Amino acid sequence: MHEPTLHGTEHPHQRPFLTPEEREAINRGRWFAGLSPSLRHDIFRLGTVTRYSHGEMFMEQGELAQYWFTCASGAIRFRRTSPAGRQVTLAYVEPGIWVGEAEVLHCGPNTYDGQAHGRTTILSVAEKVFRQLLREHSEFGEALLTLQARRMRFLYWMMEDMATLPLRARLAKQLLHLMRRFGPRHPQPGNEMPLGIVLVQDELAQLLGCSRQRVNVELKSMERDGIIRTSQRGIVVRDIARMEAIAQQENTDERAG
């Protein structure tokens, strides 16, 4: 008996539905927007929608990977725990970014934890359906290779930053990165720009691989210089041009050595 095609497969977990805003957020993702309408339709139709509260874990490091997924609203925090028990935050991911294909294809364990940051909606595609998508849509495999290539380029950029940029520049670059991913979609020129995601100093420190005290010193310095301001709702960038200038400052002392 032949396995049914995607278009003939019934999926029992189509509730709850994505809201129009959540669907739009996924469709805005540059990689996802480049897929054919029929492939996007099947992903939406066969995916499972789950909503999580702030801090709730939806995948754990070491457990067998079973889903390919994206954030539809809120944010995802990815972190790893070292053998010695030290937790390292790898990234905060905004809606529209797809994650987990490498682990699903490898049939191996999750290499990180996935945790909701704020009220978060996840659209996930089960491993079996993921493989059906590969069989039914010839474009899907090449699209996944493109996605992996982009990830590798980003990883190389991060490694270069760790080697060449001082903490102040890395912090500035990370704040700009978060602002552009989570901040207002249509900012007004000359206006202050909220980061769009609330992170405490411990979370920023983990993201940068340094101590909270060092992050605190740099944030206070930027605030005194009028580059940022802090509030209960998080960090607001007041001077984007100066922040960008800081982000480009290479650690010339280390390079000379």
Q: What's residue 244's pLDDT?
A: 92
Q: Is 231 exposed, middle or buried (0-12, 13-18, 19+ CB in 10 A)?
A: exposed
Query: Is the pLDDT at 119 greater than 80, yes or no?
Result: yes
Residue 225 CB neighbours (<10 A): 12
Query: Is the pLDDT at 98 greater than 80, yes or no?
Result: yes
Q: What's residue 15's pLDDT?
A: 59
Instruction: Give me the residue label for tokens 């490694």.
Output: 159
**Segment 168-215, tens digit of pLDDT:** 999 999 999 999 999 887 766 667 888 989 998 899 998 888 899 999
Q: Using alpha carbons, list the distances in angstroms from residue 33 to 27, 92, 96, 145.
A: 6, 21, 9, 16
Cis-peptide, bond into residue 16, ω within 30° of zero:
yes
Instruction: Give me the residue label for tokens 């809201």.
Output: 19
Q: What's residue 154's pLDDT?
A: 84
Q: What's residue 256's pLDDT?
A: 32
**Segment 120-151, tens digit of pLDDT:** 999 999 999 999 999 999 999 999 999 999 98
Query: Is the pLDDT at 4 greater than 90, yes or no?
Result: no
The pairing of beta strand 193-194 with beta strand 234-237: antiparallel
pTM exceeding the 0.85 threshold for the entire prediction = no
Q: Decide if 227 contacts 171 (C-beta within 8 A).
A: no
Instruction: Report the distance separating Cα 241 and Cα 170, nearest Å.
Output: 15
Q: Is 7 exposed, middle or buried (0-12, 13-18, 19+ CB in 10 A)?
A: exposed
Query: Is the pLDDT at 251 greater than 70, yes or no?
Result: no
Q: What's residue 257's pLDDT?
A: 31
The DSSP letter of residue 83 is: T
Q: What's residue 250's pLDDT?
A: 62
Q: Average pLDDT of 155-161?
A: 83
Q: What is the pLDDT confidence band of residue 163, given thresholds at 50, 70 and 90?
A: confident
Q: Decide if 54 contacts 118 (C-beta within 8 A).
A: yes
**Segment 101-116, tens digit of pLDDT:** 988 998 888 989 999 9
**Segment 219-233, tens digit of pLDDT:** 999 999 999 998 877
Q: Which helix (H) or strand (E) holds 56?
A: none
Share of the chain above pLDDT 70, in %: 89
Instruction: Report the distance separating Cα 197 and Cα 91, nearest Å.
Output: 12
Q: Average pLDDT of 42-60?
A: 95
More confident residue, 233 or 34: 34
Q: Average pLDDT of 38-42?
A: 97
Q: What's residue 187's pLDDT?
A: 67
Q: What is the overall mean pLDDT for the chain? A: 87
